[in-house]
Amino acid sequence: MSKRNAILAAATRLFSRNGFQGTAMAELSTITGAATGTIFHHFKNKEDLFLHVLKDVKESVLEQFDRHQQTCRNQKGIEMVEGVIAFYLHLAGTMEDQFLILHRHYPYQMAETSMVCRSHLESIYTCLLDIFEEEIKKGMQDGSIAVDSPRKTAMVLFAMVDGIVRLNTYRVYDAGTLYDSLITACRRLLTGGR
Amino acid sequence: MSVITIFSGIFCSADAVVRDVMDSTGYRLITDEQVILKAAETSGMPENKIRRAFSAKTSVFNTFTHEKECSIACLRLVLATELERGPAVVHGFCSLLIPQAVSHVLRVCIIAEMPYRIDQAGVVQGLTEKDASKQIHAQDADSAAWAEALFSVKDPWDNALYDMVLPMNRMDVAKAGALIEENLIKDAVRRTEASIQTEKDFLLAATVEMALSRAGHDVSVSAENGAVVLTINKQVLMLARLEEDLKSIAGAIPGVESVKTQVGKDFHQAHIYRKHSFEVPSRVLLVDDEREFVQTLSERLQLRDMGSAVAYDGESALALVKEDEPEVMIIDLKMPGIDGMEILKQVKSTRPEIEVIVLTGHGSEADRKRCMQLGAFAYMQKPVDIDELSDTLKKAHEKIQKFKT
């Protein structure tokens, strides 16, 4: 791993655990063994570093989804949607730091003033929702799904799944036990109770 | 033939004035009740929910249901449709719904001093002073909330909202009626081709607003010659998607030539904000061996949109100057190794365009003189007031910008 990537990986962990204010460059320097001068050589300042972390989160989450979508073609729309839901939950478990960053408040505050931050977040959500929407549309075509608005349904579905992930990230509840109920609820939502 | 709108306080004899005006002009009357009934009929929303739009109290669920905005959209649409049918007197809260752009409207406000209104309340309804004043205050609060909701104006009787404000404690009903009729024949309120177009645009905008509102959207809508502008008055991360949705709904409505979306001015988009932050330096290098102090300072500057980097000693500071080209440096004087004075000397001799602010805890008057001689931009003592430091940074930035141009 290059020095730069090592810094990014450690920064992802620190930002997700400690927040933006709570992440000190000195600590990052201790963890990575890189002098603060080196860190600032790669990243202009703390905000710049965070934006690179966010970009990294965006790229890795979307890349994972891309790969997942490639492997399961030729299924019915409803099965694809269920697959996406399951994969989202799986990713949230394996990429906990990245998801925790997305569930923290400060990136969204920063998005109000930073165009770069805003565009990273916007593309994360747009891509994820597009994936849901696409599979719902597919299901409408093959007759496995019946809803009025694929776009709005995609958002409701996403909010539900992401909400379950939050129960887990904030240790509100063991979300694993909700998996079956979630899938049943989604199925009902998508098929109109058929 | 024009339109007369009358917005009034209760117990100001407005009804009598309205009757007088109708008698002499032959105009038909459009009241809030009529508009509410029709709005309920066309939208399927219950009357009492629509009526609540006129109340200062908003339902706690409004942020999710947008009931108030939806009701207003409904009322606007009904009113715009009614106006198509020709001259009328619009009396009540609805009268404020017609956009200022529709110029063939004579906008009248009827109000009176408190003693007159309390007196009238006694004459008309036999109310005691206490009951009268209670009713007047409640009704005026609704009026104020209505003006605030529509124009962000606190005073519903504000001159700027009307062509004429008639104080009834200083004139009788006949005089008020005569004044209105006198102004009605003036050129400014005559129906022209342009003003008829604005009326059509009002109807179009109301139709679009209704359609969007039914889909759960809350945006303000204006139209000019069929070109519709939607203003999004909130922060939304997925702006592109929202704009897309709005455009697809509005674009499908007959008569809409084009749809443009924009973000309300209080809900800045990031790029607008960035324009603003040109006023502050974006590259500040902080040099101080007191790590905690300098990190806190760095974060506080970031909150003020000034990007900053930190160096804890003279050597790495000078290295960063070479690599990173800061605009402004803030340095401490006493540091191990290369001290602040030395940094100042080197920076000013090799990179005179960098402004250096000295920020020290133990400086003497002699230090101050020496620093300023070496070309420091400012010399400040710790503990420093963050606003004062921000100001100094802005000034340094201005100097640099001036030098560049």
CATH number at residue B104: 3.40.50.300
Residue A19, in any domain of the structure: no
pLDDT at B329 over 70: yes
pLDDT tens column, B298-312? 888 877 767 778 888
A25, A125, A126: residue with CB nearest B310 = A25
The answer on B143 and B280 residing in a single domain is no
Residue B61, in any domain of the structure: yes
Q: Do B238 and A122 touch (CB under 8 A)?
A: yes
* Residue B400 pLDDT grade (very low, low, confident, very high; cuts 50, 70, 90): confident
Q: What is the mean pLDDT of residues B329-345?
A: 90
Residues of A within 8 A of B305 (CB-CB) are: 113
Residue A129: what pLDDT?
94
Residue B39, in any domain of the structure: yes
Residue B319: what pLDDT?
84
Q: Show which of B161, B194, B227 is a domain's final residue.
A: B194
Residue B252, in any domain of the structure: no
Q: Is A149 in the B-facing interface, judged by CB distances under 8 Å?
A: no
The answer on B162 and B284 residing in a single domain is no
The answer on B167 and B304 residing in a single domain is no
| DSSP bridge pairs for B111 | B167
Residue A189: what pLDDT?
92
Burial (CB < 10 A; 0-12, 13-18, 19+), residue B121, is: buried
pLDDT at A194 over 70: no
Which range of residues forms the domain containing residue B160? 3-194
Alpha-carbon distance of A193 to B14, in angstroms, equals 57
Residue B284: what pLDDT?
87
Q: Show which of B176, B194, B212 is a domain's final residue.
A: B194
Residue B207, in any domain of the structure: no
Cβ B162 vs Cβ B110: under 8 Å:
no
The number of domains in chain A is 1
pLDDT tens column, B23-74? 999 999 999 999 999 999 998 889 988 999 998 887 767 767 778 888 999 9
**Residue ranges of A 96-135 with Cβ closer than 8 A to chain B:** 108, 111-115, 117-118, 121-122, 125-126, 129
Q: Do A46 and B273 touch (CB under 8 A)?
A: no
Residue B189, in any domain of the structure: yes
Residue A115, in any domain of the structure: yes
How crowded is residue A113: how many other Cβ atoms within 10 Å of its Cβ?
17
The answer on B75 and B182 residing in a single domain is yes
The number of domains in chain B is 2
Residues of B within 8 A of A126 (CB-CB) are: 238, 240-241
Residue A5, in any domain of the structure: no
Cβ A5 vs Cβ A90: under 8 Å:
no
Q: What is the DSSP letter of B327?
A: S
Residue A25: what pLDDT?
87
Residue A4, in any domain of the structure: no
How crowded is residue B245: how many other Cβ atoms within 10 Å of its Cβ?
18
Q: Please list the alpha-helical segments (H only) found in B114-192.
A: 114-125, 129-151, 173-184
Q: Do B241 and A21 touch (CB under 8 A)?
A: no
Q: What is the CATH number of the domain that holds A125?
A: 1.10.357.10
Q: Show which of B194, B221, B239 is a domain's final residue.
A: B194
- Residues in CB range of B28: below 8 A, 6 or more apart: B22, B87, B88, B89
Residue B202, in any domain of the structure: no
* Residue B167 pLDDT grade (very low, low, confident, very high; cuts 50, 70, 90): very high
Per-position b or e across A65-78, b if 16+ CB within 10 A of its CB: beebbeeeeebbbb
Alpha-carbon distance of A156 to B104, in angstroms, equals 47
B270, B271, B320: residue with CB nearest A40 = B320
Residues of B within 8 A of A44 (CB-CB) are: 283, 307, 309, 324
Which of B217, B236, B238, B312 would best serve as a mutation to test chain A binding (most A beta carbons within 10 A)? B238
Q: Do A115 and B302 touch (CB under 8 A)?
A: no
Alpha-carbon distance of B128 to B42, in angstroms, equals 41
Q: Do B311 and A24 touch (CB under 8 A)?
A: no
- For residue B284, the chain A residue with the least C-alpha distance is A45
pLDDT tens column, B84-139? 998 999 999 999 999 999 999 999 999 999 999 999 999 999 999 999 999 999 99
pLDDT tens column, A94-105? 999 999 999 999
Which range of residues forms the domain containing residue A65? 45-191
Residue B154, in any domain of the structure: yes
Cβ B242 vs Cβ B236: under 8 Å:
yes
**Residue ranges of A 154-193 with Cβ closer than 8 A to chain B:** none
Mean predicted lDDT score pLDDT of chain B = 88
* Residue A128 pLDDT grade (very low, low, confident, very high; cuts 50, 70, 90): very high
Q: What is the mean pLDDT of residues A64-86?
A: 88
Q: Is A65 in the B-facing interface, judged by CB distances under 8 Å?
A: no
Residue B382: what pLDDT?
85
User: How many CA atoms within 13 Å lie on the side-chain side of A58?
Assistant: 19
Residue identified by tokens 């980097």 is B309
pLDDT tens column, B177-210? 999 999 998 888 888 999 999 999 999 999 999 9
The answer on B188 and B86 residing in a single domain is yes
Residue A76, in any domain of the structure: yes
Q: What is the CATH number of the domain that holds B390?
A: 3.40.50.2300
Cβ B280 vs Cβ B304: under 8 Å:
yes
The answer on B291 and B161 residing in a single domain is no
Alpha-carbon distance of B216 to A57, in angstroms, equals 32
* Residue B1 pLDDT grade (very low, low, confident, very high; cuts 50, 70, 90): low
